[in-house]
């Protein structure tokens, strides 16, 4: 119960990510430059209410799917989840975060990432590239290999929920 409520609140916050940025850091938006007053407490309270209401909707959806329990309803729930979140931006943010991780990689980072993705250990990658294992670890960390793998797993999970025959 607690896990589902935390997930619901987290997802609803992600859906309102742009709104949070605008309310908490309005100076970073050029179209707010000429405003006489930045968004105030009313905008903040309205945003909190919207986040809580969406979290309640998500939490209700989680509980409904859990009670129904059939594979058909679970797949329909995954489908509706993605269809609803596409316009709200979560799916877009997941793709954007993954792209941001991949775009910051250097050529050396891609070399390490390709070797590790192919199944090589850091020691094997170091021997193949002719550098130390420590250098490989530093390149892997700078390339965001762990973050990229997690983002790929999240995208796979979101999309795979629609394609699998078995419920997750």
Please enumerate in sequence order all residues whose Cβ is within 8 A of that of 99, keeping only pairs 6 or more positions apart, or say none: none
pLDDT of the residue at 167? 47
Question: pLDDT of 46-99, one tens digit each?
Answer: 889 999 998 998 888 888 878 887 788 877 777 777 676 655 566 666 777 777
Question: Does residue 58 contact residue 8 with C-beta atoms inside 8 Å?
Answer: yes
* Residue 164 pLDDT greater than 60, yes or no: no
> Which stretches of 2-106 are DSSP H helices?
2-15, 17-24, 41-68, 71-88, 90-103
**What is the model's pTM?**
0.47
Could you say which DSSP state residue 16 is in?
Answer: T
Residue 9's CB: how many other CB atoms inside 10 A? 17
């Amino acid at each position: 119960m607690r896990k589902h409520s935390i997930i619901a609140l987290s997802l609803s916050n992600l859906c309102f990510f742009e709104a949070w940025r605008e309310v908490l850091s309005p100076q970073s938006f050029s179209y707010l430059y000429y405003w006489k007053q930045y968004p105030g407490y009313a905008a903040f309270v309205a945003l909190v209410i919207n986040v809580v209401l969406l979290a309640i909707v998500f939490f209700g959806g989680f509980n409904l799917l859990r009670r129904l329990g059939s594979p058909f309803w679970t797949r329909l729930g995954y489908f509706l989840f993605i269809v609803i979140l596409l316009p709200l931006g979560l799916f877009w943010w997941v793709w954007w975060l993954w792209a941001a991780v991949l775009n910051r990689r250097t050529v050396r980072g891609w070399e390490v990432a390709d070797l590790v993705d192919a199944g090589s250990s850091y020691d094997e990658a170091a021997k193949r590239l002719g550098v130390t294992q420590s250098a490989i670890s530093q390149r892997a960390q700078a390339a965001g290999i762990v973050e990229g793998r997690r983002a790929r797993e999240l995208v796979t999970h979101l999309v795979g929920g629609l394609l699998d025959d078995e419920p997750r």
